[in-house]
Structure 1
Amino acid sequence: MLTVIGEALVDEVVSDTAPRRFHPGGSPLNVAVGVARLGRPVQFVGRFGSDTYGAMIAEHLRANSVLTAFEADELPTSVATAVLDPAGGARYTFDLDWTLPGLDLPSLLDGTTMLHTGSIAAMLSPGSSHVLRAVEEARPGCTITYDPNCRPTIITDASYAREQAEKFVALADVVKASDEDLRWLYPDQSAEESARQWLTAGPSLVVVTRGSKGPWAVAAAGEYEVAAPTVSVVDTVGAGDSFMSALLVGLMDRELDGGARRSDLARISSGDVHDLLSFAARAAAVTVSRAGANPPYRSEVP
């Protein structure tokens, strides 16, 4: 079982060429849905309100067979407004409150072999402290995965964001970050240099997504990259989350999940890293070929 902890929200997508669209989203929620569509059991731990947007999120999770173990609360559901440029790139603004409901996390994590978190959930107080504690408690029995997915419009202090990210990197087995994330966190060095630095902090694998340049990764066995598939881009909303979902599923397919497999993951082979990157890149390519955070099903990934 894979558990995802993080924020759920509704994306309002705005462009000059199409009517305003509304999609359930939030990076962790997108990852959970992506994992489920790729055929793995997954539960989502987060929050949303009992309003219209919250009902949209609840139905989206149910329809995609993502398990939940909490009730909607009385706070408004969070909203992200994504303004698309002519090339389909998204610029985000947010209206949100990040808290975690009073959940029994040890009970919820029973049976979990992989725990994923990141994005706003791991940065924004007060919820970020609860997420960090959950990761610390889960780590002995779980593979920990992390995606900083930085949001400078919410966390404007890069120094704070860097310090917070490094706490999770030190606990993580697998980290995925975009080159934009790493350039913002470490402006005086390349994304690849920052990833190499993170690898020395504890993870077994650090992956950098680089848009049309394709993903790059570093592990103990070496450095790797694959080409991005050629595709007609509708928008980039949710592309990184689809990549992350496929990366997680690929690790589970190879039975590299669980605390007992940590030493096996540390020795991941060159062939496995290459195949993981290729599978994740193909999944992300499907998502950018259609509107919104709409991750692929297993049958759609060539």
Structure 2
Amino acid sequence: MTHALVIGEALVDVVHAADGTVTEHPGGSPANVALGLARLGRHTELATWLGKDARGRLVSDHLTASGVHLVPGSDHAERTSTSQATLAADGSATYTFDLTSRVPEVALDDTVAVLHSGSIGATLAPGGAAVAEIAAAAREHATISYDPNARPTIMGAADSVRGHIEHLVSLADVVKVSDEDIAWLYPDDDDIDAVRRWSRSGPSVVILTRGGTGSVGVTATGVEVEVPAPRVDVVDTVGAGDSYMSGLLDALWTARLLGAKRRDALTLIDADTLRTAMERAARIAAIVVSRAGANPPTRKELENEVVG
């Protein structure tokens, strides 16, 4: 059976709502991507770094209940990492972190259809170097996907991580990046110009997400597609980008464009196929922002729910 392998942080989001209430939810960008893929029926493994503590059990129970398989060794951290998420009145979130990251040993072979990494675990030492090595090795077998999902409060200055992020982009076949990420990395550049530049550095597809205004896809062959975001009442934006990522990968999987043997076909993706994938991803993200926390839909819910 082919499967997705996701590498990166799983943690507990300590959410401070605008009304002063505080709640704790399992989170972490790569963990959210794994959750989204598993809920869509994809066999998904997550290599992460959790503690054997109450918060670690909260995260692992949450993930395994939806079908995510934790890679052995993922629970060897001294404690489970946390993020403090502060929600504004419009539902947008800002984050601060208490996080450590390591990468447990992973198996790479032709059963891995896609290897996804991103965010803090892909940049924070020492795990970031391991992620880059694994991504390079996995290209023999799998599609490589990457989401920078920048968190300046823990990643530091953009100058200190830009080169590493650009290296991970060059190793990837599919990249999703937000307009906020681009603004942080390249404050003097137009966001679509930066994405076009990335699309010429290695990836077959680069997607730029712009929150409620939609997303733009750019391919290595010069195809560009713009997709509006569905209209929806926003509860909060936690996990929206991660859910977009999992929806995009699921759609490309359905189109038989994942796996190293399909790399040439992915490079030649046409506008209609890309638009279909982006529309599906946008619909999933819209469902997530209409709910509290990172709570992506199952495949059955997606088939039955209308958004907008």
Asked if TM exceeds 0.5, the reply is yes
Shift of 1:73: 1.8
> 2:246 aligned with 1:245, yes or no?
yes
Shift of 1:91: 0.5
Contact 1:221-1:268 at 8 Å conserved across structures = no
Shift of 1:253: 0.5
Contact 2:110-2:142 at 8 Å conserved across structures = no
Segments of 5+ residues of structure 2 without an aligned counterpart are: none
Contact 1:144-1:174 at 8 Å conserved across structures = yes
Q: Report the AA paired with residue 209 of structure 1.
A: T
1:17-48 per-position Cα deviation (integer Å, ceiling 9, x unaligned): 26211111100000000001111111101110
Structure 1: distance between partners of 2:114 and 2:223: 24
| Cα distance change on mapping 1:160 and 1:208 into 2, 3 Å | same
Contact 2:87-2:94 at 8 Å conserved across structures = yes
Contact 1:221-1:269 at 8 Å conserved across structures = no
Contact 2:11-2:28 at 8 Å conserved across structures = yes
| Cα distance change on mapping 1:109 and 1:32 into 2, 3 Å | farther
Percent identity, please: 47
Structure 1: distance between partners of 2:120 and 2:71: 21
> How do 1:188-267 residues align onto structure 2 when only pairs under 5 Å count?
188-219=188-219, 220-267=221-268
Q: Corresponding residue for 1:44?
A: 46
Q: Corresponding residue for 1:81?
A: 84
Shift of 1:300: 2.6
Shift of 1:110: 5.6
Q: Report the AA paired with residue 120 of structure 1.
A: I
Structure 2: distance between partners of 1:166 and 1:252: 25
Shift of 1:100: 2.1
For 1:8, which of 7, 10, 13 is the aligned residue?
A: 10
> How do 1:106-125 residues align onto structure 2 when only pairs under 5 Å count?
107=107, 109=109, 111-125=111-125
Structure 2: distance between partners of 1:210 and 1:69: 33
Contact 2:51-2:76 at 8 Å conserved across structures = yes
Q: Corresponding residue for 1:136?
A: 136
Moved more, 135-144 or 11-20: 11-20
Structure 1 runs, 4 residues or longer, greater than 6 Å off: none
Aligned residues: 299
For 1:60, which of 46, 54, 62 is the aligned residue?
A: 62
Structure 2: distance between partners of 1:98 and 1:36: 22
Structure 1: distance between partners of 2:296 and 2:109: 25
Structure 2: distance between partners of 1:283 and 1:16: 25
Contact 2:108-2:141 at 8 Å conserved across structures = no
| Cα distance change on mapping 1:287 and 1:18 into 2, 3 Å | farther
| Cα distance change on mapping 1:46 and 1:110 into 2, 3 Å | farther
Q: Report the AA paired with residue 65 of structure 1.
A: G
| Cα distance change on mapping 1:258 and 1:108 into 2, 3 Å | closer
Shift of 1:108: 5.3
TM-score by length of 2: 0.94
Q: Corresponding residue for 1:177?
A: 177
Q: Report the AA paired with residue 150 of structure 2.
A: C
Shift of 1:74: 4.6
Contact 1:24-1:57 at 8 Å conserved across structures = yes
TM-score by length of 1: 0.96
Contact 1:3-1:109 at 8 Å conserved across structures = no
Q: Corresponding residue for 1:296?
A: 297
What SS does the corresponding residue of 1:83 show, helix, strand or coil? strand
For 1:91, which of 94, 99, 102 is the aligned residue?
A: 94
Shift of 1:191: 1.0
For 2:22, which of 15, 20, 23 is the aligned residue?
A: 20
Contact 2:7-2:47 at 8 Å conserved across structures = yes
Structure 1: distance between partners of 2:109 and 2:93: 34
Q: Report the AA paired with residue 269 of structure 1.
A: D
Structure 2: distance between partners of 1:109 and 1:70: 17
